[in-house]
Amino acid sequence: MQRQVDLRSSELQLSEERLSLIADEVPAGIAHVDKDMTLLYMNKRFARAYQVDQHAAVGMNAYDVLHPNTMEESARFFEQARRGILVDFEMRLELPGGRFKDVRTLLRPEKPSSGEVIGFYLVSIDVTRRKSTLNALMRSQKMDALGRMASGISHDFNNLLTIILGNLNPLTELISDELVEEYVAPSISAARRGSSLTKRLVSLARREQFDPAPTDIGEAITEIAKLLESSVPESLTITVEQSDNLPIALVDLSQLEMAMLNLTLNARDATDGRGNIEIRSEPFEMTLDHADMTHLPTGLYVKISFHDNGCGMAPDLSEKIFEPFFTSKAAGSGSGLGLSMVYGFVQQSNGAVFVDSTLGKGTTFSILLPSVELNTKKPLADPSGKKLRSIESTGAISPTSSGLVLLVDDDIDVRRTVRRKIAGLGYPVVEAGDADEALNLIRQIKDISIVISDIGMPGTMDGIGLAHVLKSQFDEVRVILMSGNRSLQTEDELPSDVIFLKKPFEADELRSCLTTTTVDEDDGAENRVKIE
């Protein structure tokens, strides 16, 4: 019988060791809690998360191990488990050291044969990465929806602005300076602001107007901070800290400035203009663990930490702040685009942005920007692979010797406005309402040497289709395409020797397009027009 007891004891010990090994290796925190909230068991992952000794913590009360905020938010779920209810819930845990994790917790009541609940088992699964991935996907989908919306309205809206500006600008020369200053100048300024807003929307959603270059982030932040000081009241101080060995990053400096300005204005509102802003730049080595969470390649990055000691945000609010048009400010006091533009800039830069905020303790935005060694910049090339460079014509092209200009647009008001600008530059003009009419005119009038066409037109083909036909059948005809909505996809669809003109435009921009040529760097044989 003694041998039998020893054998059974050995088997039980081996089984317990197996179960303990399994419990310690599973990717979840596991604990056994009695009805008085005393910890009867915890696995290694649970003990490591709360920075306690796995064996020494057994017998301690959960209130002495878990963070007070965690206990406060979880109390109702623990009470349900002690009443015998199966509970599943998700929450953000605050861990020792100021760390936060999103976890899904399962509570399973312990009922012996008597049926009375004597405790429960707790299993916590870290879902921080999954939640981060889902949030990034949702933001991406919302940005894409914004892009489609912006693309839909920008063309028609910029057509209207083209007409407005095209009629207001000549009016300044026909009436007195007093009337211009009082009535016309504010209208022109408002129309240009409308054009700028549309441009920002499309740029935010479609990744336009992005011109990255190798940048010394430390020097850039120092200069930007000087500019930011004039944007905040004296009661709000800005301090800058820089590490010595900052790598060079590939970013668009103007967009970095705009991102820092948006963060500063956000901090000004959060602090009510009284407090501190700390901007710190330091190298950051992206490891495999971080790369899995951020979906970025491993390697060297620059980390910019932007901290304010303002009012902070609740966890549910901090998950929404990068959404386009979302704002927690009072109606009419915020557009909801500032932080969306920060997010868009970081995404264009192939980086990542995180926010860590606690109510009453302030907010920290962390921006990761890849170093130059993680980026390659490709030169613009034509379909044959030859590099192109843009040059200005060596002498002013005489409008009267350049032949006719064919203006193609389905909107008669836009045609009237653009025609006035072309004629004002000294070019003779003929008009067409669509691509088919334009092709008929070109076949009949041999003097047409330049075609300026809108991209979005009804009929059998749009402006891009017209450009392809012209370059294949009338190669000597120069083509300029204009639109109030330009995306990078559109640029890829255009022939390599076509200029793009963004509506609304000034007469100087039109003149530049009419007098701009490109030369093939390899042979310099033939002047060709390309997208600028």
Q: Are both 222 and 357 inside the same structural domain?
A: yes
Per-residue pLDDT band for 151 (boundaries 50, 70, 90) equals: low
CA pair distance 172, 380, nearest whole angstrom: 40
The whole-number pLDDT of residue 259 equals 87
Task: Please give the residue that has the higher pLDDT: either 224 or 518.
Answer: 224
Together in a domain, 268 and 151: no
Inside any domain, residue 106: yes
Return phi, psi of residue 310, to 5°.
-85, -150
Q: Which of 80, 107, 126 is the last residue of a domain?
A: 126
Mean pLDDT of 439-452: 87
What pLDDT is recorded for position 254?
79
Q: Are residues 326 and 412 in the same domain?
A: no
Residue 391 above 60 pLDDT? no
Q: Tell me whether residue 227 is in a domain.
A: yes
User: Could you give the 3-state DSSP secondary structure of residue 169?
Assistant: helix
Model confidence pLDDT, tens digit, residues 195-252: 766 665 655 555 455 667 888 998 889 888 887 887 788 888 999 999 888 889 888 8
Predicted confidence (pLDDT) at residue 311 exceeds the cutoff of 50: yes
Last residue of a domain, one of 126, 157, 176: 126
What is the total count of domains within the chain? 4
Angle between helices 128-171 and 412-424 (to 10 degrees): 60
| Residue 467 CB contacts under 8 Å (≥ 6 apart), including other chains | 453, 479, 481, 494, 495, 498
Choose between 531 and 264: higher pLDDT: 264
Tell me the pLDDT band of 194, cut-offs 50, 70 and 90: confident
223 in the same domain as 257: yes
Q: Which of 166, 184, 206 is the last residue of a domain?
A: 206
Q: What's the CATH number where 462 sits?
A: 3.40.50.2300
Assigned domain for 380 exists: no
Q: Are residues 136 and 266 in the same domain?
A: no
191 alpha-carbon distance from chain centroid: 26
Confirm if 103 and 19 have CB atoms less than 8 A apart. Answer: no
Which pLDDT tens digit goes with each residue over 324-347? 655 655 444 444 567 877 887 888
Average pLDDT, the chain: 78
Cα(249)–Cα(300) distance, rounded to whole angstroms? 10
Residue 56's domain spans which residues? 22-126
> Are residues 339 and 406 both part of a single domain?
no
* Mean pLDDT lowest among 35-44, 276-285, 403-412: 403-412
The reply to whether 179 and 318 lie within a common domain is no
Q: What mean pLDDT comes out for the span 355-360? A: 86
pLDDT value of residue 147: 62
pLDDT given for residue 223 in this prediction: 87
Tokens of 460: 């059998």
181/114: higher pLDDT: 181
231 and 353 belong to one structural domain: yes
Q: Do 269 and 359 sit in the same domain of this protein?
A: yes
Q: What is the pTM of this model?
A: 0.43
Q: State the CATH number of the domain containing residue 34.
A: 3.30.450.20
Whether residue 259 sits in one domain with residue 161: no
